[in-house]
Amino acid sequence: MNAIEIKGLSKIFDERTAVDTLDLTIKQGEFFGLLGSNGAGKTTTIKMLCCLIQPTNGDALMMGNSIVKNSEAVKQIINVSPQETAVAPKLTVRENLEMIARIHGSSKEQATQKAGKMLSVFDMQARARDRAKALSGGFQRKLSIAMALITEPQILFLDEPSLGLDVRARRELWKTINALKGIATIILTTHYLEEAEALSDRICIMDKGKVQIVGTAKEIIGTAGTKTFEDAFLMYTEEGAL
């Protein structure tokens, strides 16, 4: 079954086309990487799929629910970990988790139970009572992802989850993200090509708002006829290979 069916999705800001007639299908349970240079249209695409901005044209079905006609139903089954850290700074780690669970409809008891599970899965029990603002950047990212996952979304968007993290924190986060495979359909945007290559089942490279190629990392390298994924990426974006 398809988790996401994007049909002719476009977004035009004034006279600038950010996303241009996007057509894409993502299977249920798939880990899908969305790559592109700055301004390629990745974040705009995610914002449309999360019902945060309205498309200029086209539509997308999220588990069968239209983002244009039935955004309330879409919001019940998705969650997002935004590009910047998105935690309530003066709430504790546990309070952040419980609040998001309750906003998405869990009872107090269910929220407590789910928060306990997330603290365990993300290895955060020792910091459960610490306020979010006291956490390191890597830990805040981990919390941000846990907050997205606690609602048990059928579709999860991870927008640049490892941006600004050091190598060790990034590798730790990869491990955490990798463990999410199969739990939900995951759409990952990232500037780290090795991250997309290591984690994604399939990858889409976007440029100037359009899909350039979709496939596994190996397929993309093969089609591009390059030695590395980075070379293939450069070939499909901006001015082509360097």
Partner 1 sequence: MKSFIFANRNFKEITRDPASMIMSIGFPVLLIVALSLMKQSIGGMADIFEVGNFAPSMMVFGLSFFGMFVGSLMSTDKETSFLMRLFASPLTAVDYIIGYSLPVLPLAVIQGICCFIAAFFFGLPFNVNIILTLVVLIPIAAFFITCGLFIGSVFSSSTSVSGFSTILINAVVFLGGAVIPLDLIGGIFKTICYLLPFAHANDAVKAAISGEYTQIIPHLLWVLGYAVVLIVPATLIFRKKMKG
- Binding positions for partner 1, rule: CB under 8 A: 47, 50-54, 72, 75-76, 78-91, 95, 99-100, 102-105, 131, 144, 147-148
CA distance 20 to 36: 14
Q: How far is the CB of 52 from partner 1 (least distance, A)?
A: 5
Residue number, 86 or 121, with CB nearest to partner 1 = 86
Q: How far is the CB of 217 from partner 1 (least distance, A)?
A: 29
Q: How far is the CB of 113 from partner 1 (least distance, A)?
A: 16
Q: How far is the CB of 73 from partner 1 (least distance, A)?
A: 10
Residue number, 52 or 121, with CB nearest to partner 1 = 52
Please calculate the CA angle 229-84-159 and round it to the nearest 5 degrees.
Answer: 40
Residue number, 184 or 203, with CB nearest to partner 1 = 184
Q: How far is the CB of 190 from partner 1 (least distance, A)?
A: 16
Which residue type does 65 have? N
CA distance 132 to 167: 22
Chain Cα centroid distance, residue 177: 10
CA distance 145 to 223: 33
Residue number, 99 or 198, with CB nearest to partner 1 = 99
Residue number, 22 or 87, with CB nearest to partner 1 = 87
Residue number, 68 or 198, with CB nearest to partner 1 = 68
CA atoms within 13 A on the CB side of 62: 28
Q: Measured between alpha carbons, how far is residue 81 from residues 98, 123, 151, 177, 223 in Å?
A: 16, 18, 12, 12, 32
**Residue where the block lists tokens 């089942």:** 201
Strand blocks (E) in the chain: 2-13, 16-27, 31-36, 57-62, 65-66, 78-81, 155-159, 185-189, 202-207, 210-215
Q: How far is the CB of 147 from partner 1 (least distance, A)?
A: 7
